Amino acid sequence: MTRHIRHAGVFCALLLVALLLNAARVQVVQAPEYDRNPANRRPDIARYEEPRGDILVDDRPVTGSRDTREHLRYERTYTDGPLYAPVTGFASQLYGTTLLEKAEDGILSGTDPMLAPFPLWNDFTRARSRGGDVVTTLDPAAQRAAYKGLAGHKGAVAALEPSTGRILALVSAPSYDPQPLSGNGAAATKAWRRLNVDPDRPMLNRAVRQTYPPGSTFKVVTTAAALDAGVVRDLDAPTGSPEPYTLPGTRTRLTNASRGCRDASLREAFTLSCNTVFAKLGVEVGATDMTATAHAFGFNDPALRIPFPVARSTFDTSLDQAQLGLSSIGQYNTRATPLQMAMVAAAVANGGQLREPYLVERTVRPGGSTLAASGPRAVRQAMYPSTAVRLRALMREVVENGTGRRAAIRGAKVGGKTGTAQHGLGNSGTPYAWFVSWAQGDRDLAPRVAVAVIVEEAEADRGDISGGGDAAPIARAVMEAVLAHQR
């Protein structure tokens, strides 16, 4: 009998071994797979267990956290939600995160390993660090000015500090309040549905996620290419341009909105925004040099992040002469985000050097000590310094004598370029009004701010739509707000 008791005992031992092995299988081998199962709520619960870190503008948080005492405990709150939505994005328990909330999620939610007191500490203790804060480069006054200027319009504003690439303002209109999306209840679902069916697309970040034909503002790029390539040496020499200009190889005749473009000098053509002159210049510069310059300004760069990705601005690289002519005046396949056009203005203002734009000044630990500081990024030489000096003069004339007079600021040097972009089938859409500019206060050594403004479907008669009329005053308000800060 003893032998058989032992056998039965071995059987029980085998059962125990099976249990132990299976427990190890479930808890160690399969655990990562189970953790990743979308129906597993535990990662979500852990994620929202602690208040999220904040996004700071001018050292004041524009976000917050609300304790709901629910399973998913902390909900995001926003102060001035619509004002900062194109920067913060939303952090929703149902719909995920966007923009800065997404790009800096590791810091904000506390999962970033840099937040741990020691390497691998959190892996070992299974603790989650408290979320860190993200300090933005935004200038709240400039942001407010841009937001106010766009009120009632569809459009966007991007403003940069030319010497560093810091983004001072990033506004998209119409905007939305991200707060209702934060939770997971019926209200969030309803808000999500409402925002998604809104024909005005308030959740579209027009400043960085939408590209537009840049129209005449692209003539800044064409001018830089022409001066760099030596196609034009004297700003005041006649360019020998006919009016109308027949695009090479076609019978399409290009005309101008203003008079006085026949055989105009580059200075006159820039001030009057002559399509004929710039189309001809672009053709003379040639596709290779035009593409190279556009690229140097940041066109065709799919990898730009600020730190969230920016839509790629395009300058077509395989063009015939006629297409090159059209592209050189910001039409055909040329498309740019407002941020890209602000980069163009900033490169001119910064002596030809382009600083990559960035939105996060630094990230800080909950205690306030700095985790990582971004600082100015790589420099790209967009044009010769001498070209930049001449372009600055040209742009100042636009504001002083040309189409951009409404951007002028008393006691400051302001340079600008207007644009009216045709779009739609057969150019049937209401044109977009563009304005790109930069400004230097009277006591500043260099331009302090570069801005790009676009207003879609400006509320004006079609004939009157112009960057100078609708977009320039908004740009001026933003530039004034920046210059008003004493440094």
Closest contact distance (angstroms) between CB of 194 and other proteins is 25
Which residue, 26 or 187, has its beta carbon nearer to other proteins?
26
Helix H or strand E segment including 221: helix 219-229
Closest contact distance (angstroms) between CB of 73 and other proteins is 11
Residues 124-163 that bind other proteins (CB under 8 A): 126
Closest contact distance (angstroms) between CB of 26 and other proteins is 5
Does residue 28 bind other proteins (CB under 8 A)?
yes
**Active-site annotation holder among 129, 163, 175, 216:** 216
Strands across the sheet with 167-173, in order? 167-173, 154-160, 449-456, 432-441, 412-421
Does residue 15 bind other proteins (CB under 8 A)?
yes
Which residue, 73 or 144, has its beta carbon nearer to other proteins?
73
Does residue 42 bind other proteins (CB under 8 A)?
yes
Active site residue 273: no
Residues 341-400 that bind other proteins (CB under 8 A): none
Helix H or strand E segment including 143: helix 140-150
> In this chain, which of 39, 378, 425, 445 binds other proteins, going by CB under 8 A?
39
Three-state SS string over 365-422 comes to CCCCCEEEECCCCCEEECCCHHHHHHHHHHHHHHHHHCCCHHHCCCCEEEEEEEEEEC
Are 439 and 145 in contact by the 8 Å Cβ rule? The answer is no
Which residue, 129 or 271, has its beta carbon nearer to other proteins?
129
Which residue, 7 or 233, has its beta carbon nearer to other proteins?
7
Closest contact distance (angstroms) between CB of 40 and other proteins is 4
Among residues 278, 279, 270, 265, the alpha carbon closest in space to that of 234 is found at 265
Size of the site for other proteins (CB under 8 A): 38
Residues 59-88 that bind other proteins (CB under 8 A): 71
Amino acid making up residue 474: I
Pairwise CA distance, residues 349 & 383, whole Å: 11
Closest contact distance (angstroms) between CB of 144 and other proteins is 42
Does residue 446 bind other proteins (CB under 8 A)?
no
Does residue 9 bind other proteins (CB under 8 A)?
yes
Does residue 27 bind other proteins (CB under 8 A)?
yes
Closest contact distance (angstroms) between CB of 46 and other proteins is 9
Which residue, 40 or 401, has its beta carbon nearer to other proteins?
40
> In this chain, which of 34, 288, 389, 442 binds other proteins, going by CB under 8 A?
34
The contacts of residue 232 (CB under 8 Å, 6+ apart) are 223, 226, 239, 266, 281
How many Cα atoms occupy the beta-carbon half-sphere of 262 within 13 Å?
4
Total H helices, total E strands in the chain? 17, 18
Binding segment (CB under 8 A) for other proteins, from list 25-33, 111-119, 199-207, 446-454: 25-33
Give the distance from CA 247 to its chain's centroid.
Answer: 34
Closest contact distance (angstroms) between CB of 279 and other proteins is 57
Does residue 16 bind other proteins (CB under 8 A)?
yes
Does residue 35 bind other proteins (CB under 8 A)?
yes
Does residue 121 bind other proteins (CB under 8 A)?
no
Helix H or strand E segment including 273: none
SS3 state of residue 342: helix
Binding segment (CB under 8 A) for other proteins, from list 12-20, 112-120, 157-165, 325-333: 12-20
Which residue, 9 or 113, has its beta carbon nearer to other proteins?
9
Amino acid making up residue 291: T
- Describe the crossing of helices 338-349 and 287-297 by its angle, rounded to 10 degrees: 90
Pairwise CA distance, residues 445 & 473, whole Å: 24
SS3 state of residue 468: helix
Closest contact distance (angstroms) between CB of 41 and other proteins is 6
Does residue 22 bind other proteins (CB under 8 A)?
yes
Pairwise CA distance, residues 349 & 396, whole Å: 11
Give catalytic residue positions. Answer: 216
* Sites of contact with other proteins (CB under 8 A): 1-9, 11-13, 15-16, 18-20, 22-24, 26-28, 30-35, 37-42, 45, 71, 126
